């Protein structure tokens, strides 16, 4: 089974969110099966029916934006893309996601676990993402915000709550 993950500076297929087949190589794309781990990450990746972009509005903050559809083919590559580019703070902007399958939730859980104590992160969901999170995350365990600006403010404002508190602190 071949993957259709392509890194692109600006290919026509990437701009409209279409898949660039791995058996044809336009001059300005480099097909790969996974996001490379030993090179400088590119800021735009097209994977199947989604496009991922990374930007750093602040030195310690990365905003990863996904456009299109997240499904079993590209959900885990999104988590990998985000974690490889994350600094100390990560905003995962899914506000432009039109379809969000259950594999997307699994990828969010993976991102939450793999970020650990090193990376604080906040999710900005679209309507499609929110719909699935109401079912898969009814208690709101994943950190969410309404907008990217609010997420950046939340990341730099309050300390991250601990994942588990066994004994209440006195006071």
Q: Is residue 166 very low, low, confident or very high in pLDDT (cuts 50, 70, 90)? A: low
Closest CA to 82 of 94, 74, 90, 70: 90
User: Which region, left, alpha or beta, applies to residue 121 given φ > 0 means left and ψ of -120 to 50 means alpha?
Assistant: beta
Show the beta-strand stretches assigned E in the chain: 5-8, 29-32, 44-47, 50-58, 61-70, 89-100, 120-125
Residue 47 has pLDDT above 50, yes or no: yes
pLDDT for 32 equals 39
Give the pLDDT mean for 29-50: 61
Q: What pTM value is reported for the model?
A: 0.70
Phi, psi angles (nearest 5°) of residue 46: -105, 130
105-123 burial by CB neighbour count: b if 16+ within 10 A, else e? bebbebbbeebeeebbbbb
pLDDT for 17 equals 43
Q: Is residue 170 very low, low, confident or very high in pLDDT (cuts 50, 70, 90)? A: confident
Residue 18 has pLDDT above 60, yes or no: no
Q: Which residues pair with 62 in a beta bridge?
A: 90
CA distances from residue 95 to 37, 112, 127, 129, 150 in whole angstroms, order as listed: 26, 18, 8, 8, 13
Q: Is residue 169 very low, low, confident or very high in pLDDT (cuts 50, 70, 90)? A: low
Helices within the chain (DSSP H only): 12-15, 75-85, 102-115, 127-136, 148-157
Pairwise pLDDT comparison (10 vs 111), residue with the higher score: 111
C-beta separation of 79 from 164 below 8 A = no
Q: How many residues does the chain have?
A: 171
Residue 165 has pLDDT above 80, yes or no: no
Closest CA to 92 of 165, 167, 148: 148
Pairwise pLDDT comparison (59 vs 39), residue with the higher score: 59
pLDDT for 36 equals 36
| Summary mean pLDDT of the chain | 79
pLDDT for 161 equals 54
């Amino acid at each position: 089974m071949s993957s259709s993950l392509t890194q692109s500076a600006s290919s026509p297929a990437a701009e409209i969110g279409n898949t660039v087949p791995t058996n044809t190589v336009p001059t300005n794309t480099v097909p790969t099966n996974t996001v490379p781990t030993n090179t400088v990450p590119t800021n735009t990746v097209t994977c199947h029916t989604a496009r991922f972009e990374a930007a750093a509005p602040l030195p310690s903050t990365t905003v990863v934006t996904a456009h299109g559809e997240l499904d079993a083919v590209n959900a885990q590559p999104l988590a990998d893309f985000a974690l490889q580019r994350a600094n100390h703070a990560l905003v995962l902007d899914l506000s432009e996601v039109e379809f969000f399958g259950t594999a997307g939730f699994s990828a969010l859980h993976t991102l939450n676990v793999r970020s650990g104590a090193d990376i604080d992160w906040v999710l900005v969901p679209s309507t499609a993402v929110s719909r699935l999170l109401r079912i898969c995350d009814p208690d709101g365990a994943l950190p969410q915000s309404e907008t990217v600006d609010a997420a950046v403010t939340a990341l730099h404002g309050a300390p991250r709550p601990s994942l588990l508190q066994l004994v209440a602190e006195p006071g």
